[in-house]
């Protein structure tokens, strides 16, 4: 680390702390040559996730889009914004942990649906209706029957 004052490349660390959000380390340093103090931050470099859409286009993963989709599904439901943010954060961590550079919209959608099914079944059906592109009322009925069957542990 070069000193911003004299450009010397030797410094000693006086103090190390985590930032408030816990996503970086703050280091207070002192230059060996000029004795001036300065602060550096170390942050984990993350590789962006690339989302492969159904039509083959590729975009950088945007958690805001996922949050907006879940908010629409959870409208007028007893689901807090904190629960939604935690869900999206967990999904994003899981996707990063897959170690794939590219993920499909199908993988994201299935993750969201699995989480919504546990959190709020009405929100799940709403999300599934858009995600799976339900064409008619029979598709809705089949999805709800599947939910009831699984909840009651009835055979298919």
**Residues present in the chain in total:** 156
Transcribe 96-148 into DSSP letters: HHTT-SEEEHHHHHHHHHHHHHHH-HHHHHHHHHHHTT--SHHHHHHHHHHHH
The pLDDT tens digits along the chain (156 residues) read 899 999 999 999 999 998 877 778 999 999 999 999 999 999 877 778 899 998 999 999 999 999 999 999 999 999 999 999 999 989 988 988 887 889 999 999 999 999 998 999 899 889 988 887 777 788 878 888 887 887 776 555
Closest of 144, 116, 140 to residue 129, by C-alpha:
140
* pTM for the full predicted model: 0.64
């Amino acid at each position: 680390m070069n000193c911003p004052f004299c450009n010397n490349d030797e410094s000693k660390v006086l103090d190390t702390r985590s930032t408030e959000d816990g996503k970086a380390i703050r280091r207070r340093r002192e230059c060996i040559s000029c004795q001036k103090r300065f602060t550096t931050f170390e942050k984990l470099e993350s590789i962006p996730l690339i989302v492969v859409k159904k039509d083959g286009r590729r975009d950088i993963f945007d958690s805001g889009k996922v949050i907006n989709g879940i908010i629409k599904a959870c409208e007028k439901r007893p689901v807090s914004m904190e629960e939604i943010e935690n869900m999206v954060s967990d999904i994003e961590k899981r996707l990063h942990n897959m170690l794939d550079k590219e993920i499909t919209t199908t993988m994201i959608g299935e993750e969201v649906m699995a989480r919504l099914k546990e959190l709020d079944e009405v929100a799940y059906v709403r999300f599934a209706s858009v995600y799976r592109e339900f064409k008619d009322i029979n598709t809705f009925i089949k999805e709800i029957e599947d939910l009831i069957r699984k909840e009651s542990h009835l055979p298919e």
